[in-house]
Amino acid sequence: MSRATPRDTRQAIFDAAIEILRHHGAGALTVRSVATAAGCSTTGVYTWFGSKNGLVEAIFVDGFRRFHAAQQDVLDHVGPDLVALAEVYRRWALDNPTHYQVMFQGVVPDFEPSDEARAVAWSTFAQLIVAAESTRRERALEIPVEDLAHHMWATVHGYVSLELSGMSPLEPEHAARIFRDGVAFVEHAAH
């Protein structure tokens, strides 16, 4: 019989927190509920994450690192394409709704990311700036690059948030088409 390694325990705690958030919401996320679900004591949670806030921050940072990697894959293989980044944003969010809610929707009350965690998060916006600068240069747009990136981010975030919250009345295929139309509209409307 093999014993769990410390890394296994840390991962079990992390996975338990994700499952609790996904299935029961932030109100059910306590150090005790996570420890119980992970099969360890509350000391394990405190040892690995320091506090409930530290555990939520780990989810926040993990999400942004994985999101960054997905966007970087687009930049490396497709190039600085705003539409391609928008598509990967939507796909990543739909595939990782719990992370997305922690990252962008403040699903855990009173959670405030540290400055270090915010820096990880902002690195993903820097990737969008790269694509916005390329689009601005190719199309000789006069809009400031940060404004173009922000318009695209807000548009994508809006569509994705509606879809994830169940507030979009559209079927998935229709939602995907409307999403692409909206992204194209923003890209082409920039002046």
Question: Which CATH number covers residue 92?
Answer: 1.10.357.10
* Residue from 51, 54, 52, 60 nearest 99 by CA: 60
Over residues 41-60, the pLDDT tens digits come to 999 999 999 999 999 999 99
The verdict on 89 and 159 lying in the same domain is: yes
The verdict on 35 and 81 lying in the same domain is: no
Quick check: pTM over 0.85? yes
CATH of the domain at 31: 1.10.10.60
What average pLDDT does the structure give for the chain? 90
Provide the domain limits for residue 131.
52-189
Q: For residue 43, which amino acid is it?
A: T
Please give the tally of structural domains in the chain.
2
The verdict on 77 and 163 lying in the same domain is: yes
The verdict on 118 and 140 lying in the same domain is: yes
